[in-house]
Amino acid sequence: MSPDVPEQADAVTAHVKLSGEDWELETSLSVPAGPIRLRTMLPLVQSFADAVIGAAAEAAESQGRRISCKKGCGACCRQLVPISEVEARHIAALVEALPEPRRSQVRARFAEARRRLAEAGLLETLRHRQEWGKGESRSVGEAYFQQGIPCPFLEEESCSIHPDRPIACREYLVTSPAENCAKPSADTVDCVKLPMRLWPALALFDAVKPEERCIRWVPLILALEWVAEQPEEPAPRPGPELLRRFFDHLTAQKSL
């Protein structure tokens, strides 16, 4: 990765070059030079994620590994989806902006999911992620998937907010038969290997102190609840600072 970030009067543009053994990507990212909230930069990160994931998918298909994910295949939309705090705020804003009666319908799905999690004894576990031991995220994820709780945005087995879906959802691509995703395992599901994970880089912005290497995240299913409890967004910061920190988080991933 080689970001070149020239500053201009009103904006900063980063020219990024990524390369791997069998693929290469060049793109540019621009942010306002003045103070902005991290949520303002989210569409830029989503676009960058799509470019990186797209390059990885093309490399996989060039090797004869066809991507099997498609509209109407929603098995993965019953998994525990980790999202950054800024994405949780974005999800809450999306729901709030929906027209009625759709807004109430989506909110009802979140509430029903919460009820089912409480009934299964998983709600408090998800609400206290900081207490998880090593390797517990896997066991909790498996227990969550066994409940078969659909994402509140899943409609007719397709994502109803596809352009705004979380980064973690974008990163989940498989080349194994689609029907295998209903009972996923390391032996039955073959995921596209990515050169880097972008959602953790976004989640690192939420560390209490910049030097902390702690990935704080929110289960998508609890996004509305979390935002209601944490209504204050982080203060705006200069766009160039946010952009540089994002690339710092990406390049430091091996140390996480």
pLDDT (average), residues 150-159: 96
Q: pLDDT-derived band of residue 160, with 50, 70 and 90 as boundaries?
A: very high
- H helices within 63-189, ranges in order? 85-97, 102-119, 123-127, 136-146, 167-171
How far is residue 75's CA from residue 172's CA, in Å, rounded to a whole number? 12
Rg of the chain on CA atoms, in Å: 19
Of the candidates 76, 29, 42, 75, the residue with the CA atom closest to the CA atom of residue 198: 42
Q: Per residue in 78-122, pLDDT tens?
A: 999 999 999 999 999 999 999 999 999 999 999 999 999 999 999
How far is residue 168's CA from residue 164's CA, in Å, rounded to a whole number? 12
pLDDT (average), residues 209-218: 70
| b/e burial code for range 71-90 (CB count within 10 A of at least 16 → b) | eebbbbbbbbbbbbbbbbbb
How far is residue 183's CA from residue 193's CA, in Å, rounded to a whole number? 20
Tokens describing residue 133: 């031991």
Q: Per residue in 196-207, pLDDT tens?
A: 889 999 998 876
pLDDT (average), residues 219-227: 97
Mean pLDDT of the chain: 89
Give 247's Cβ-side CA count (13 Å radius). 18
Structural domain boundaries in the chain: 11-255
